[in-house]
Amino acid sequence: MSFPLQGVRILELGQIIAGTYGSQVLSDLGAEVIKIEAPEGDLGRIPSVAPYRGVSTLFLTFNRNKKSVVINLKTDAGRALFHDLVKVSDVVLDNFRAGVLERLKIDYPTLSAINPRIIQCSVTGFGADGAYKDYPALDIIIQAISGYLAITGEPGRPPARVGITLADLCGGIFSCKGILAALFERSRTGSGCRIEISMFDGMLNLLSYMGTHYLNTGELPTPQGSAHEFTVPWQAFQAKDGYVVIATRQENFWRKLCAVLGEPGLADDPRFATNPVRLENRAALIPIIENIVRTRTVAEWLEKLRAAGVPAAPVNNLDGAFAEPPVAEREMIVEYDHPDAGRVRLPGNPIKMSGISGTPSKPAPRLGEHTDAVLSEVLELSADEIASLRRQGAIG
């Protein structure tokens, strides 16, 4: 089966999530990803992080389909070996701190002189230059400084982070987009380019209309829990056995909801007849709906609401989320057999394309698992040459 990025070779110098997620997505689309690791390995390998049978599920997730090659870039021989790989590759991806690329002599001017077609993409916290270039860029740091902790959670409660490592994933999302755009541009010009992704920039971009609204009105958003600042009702309501989300963006949904609730008169109540007045009278309306929703189970409400065409959903935990019909229908669970962890099940590839069936799913590699194979197959080095590199400490 042919995948759209088949024949594209990526050298990944990434660690943990921000520098690994983007290339994992590209590997799902057929790219060959060679993970270049230091002798101590990716920090994401630490087995105490999301442990499963002695292996980190973080590493199992973000390094699917990749090959691991251990090269010590702090040695002259290791650096020369990496430069040889750059000559026959398309992309170099990293998430080093500012200054590391120059110190290791793998910065873009150096690599582009070796291979003018090379695309180099760096994921940083705040950019390679500027006042914050040396600041630590942990996910929670970026979530805090970009405003997310201030707008997430329940009103009147302490700051809350988004439940996933959104800032780290943001680095991967935008690096993936940038690399795809650069590959397209190179197909027209024949030249590579330098891409720089700031996680802080990405998170500001993902603020979307909330950022636009603040920049133009000066109004600061506040935590809303599951509610919406501009639409009522639009939130989670407690039923007998859990929570159900009800969202009435248009007035026709509001009128349908009132009928389902058995209170059609609410639709014409002057306090609630339109969304602007419902916003003004939120404190009066929400308790009425809450008292009614508590009388039935989530399943009962979903049946009634969906039959009436009212947008509604259960508040699932992961057991419920992965049991929903689209998961199986769209092949959103993939599997592989790992030599240490055994059978591993993972979230699948959300990008579906005509003519392509399934998602590549090869096990996350052991440290240095593919060193000899890559050097012999890609660079055509002999066993003696590989042994010499190992004696020099260039490879692991």
Residue 68 burial (CB < 10 Å; 0-12/13-18/19+)? buried
Q: Note if 228 is an active site residue.
A: yes
Residue ranges of E strands in 239-305: 243-247
State CA 330 to chain mean position distance: 19
Cβ pair 64, 346 in contact under 8 A: yes
Compute the chain's Rg from CA coordinates: 25
Q: Please give the structure tokens belonging to residue 382.
A: 């002999």
The 3 state secondary structure assigned to 46-62 is: CCCCCEECCEEHHHHHH
Interatomic CA distance for residues 89 and 32, integer angstroms: 10
Cβ pair 89, 11 in contact under 8 A: yes
Residue 177 burial (CB < 10 Å; 0-12/13-18/19+)? middle
> In 3-state terms, what secondary structure has residue 374?
helix
Options 83, 213, 228, 370, the catalytic residue: 228
> Which amino acid is residue 46, in one-letter code?
I
Interatomic CA distance for residues 139 and 166, integer angstroms: 7
Interatomic CA distance for residues 82 and 379, integer angstroms: 10
> Which amino acid is residue 181, in one-letter code?
A
Q: Is 271 left (phi over 0), alpha (psi -120 to 50) or beta?
A: alpha
> Which amino acid is residue 179, in one-letter code?
I
- Residues serving a catalytic function are 228
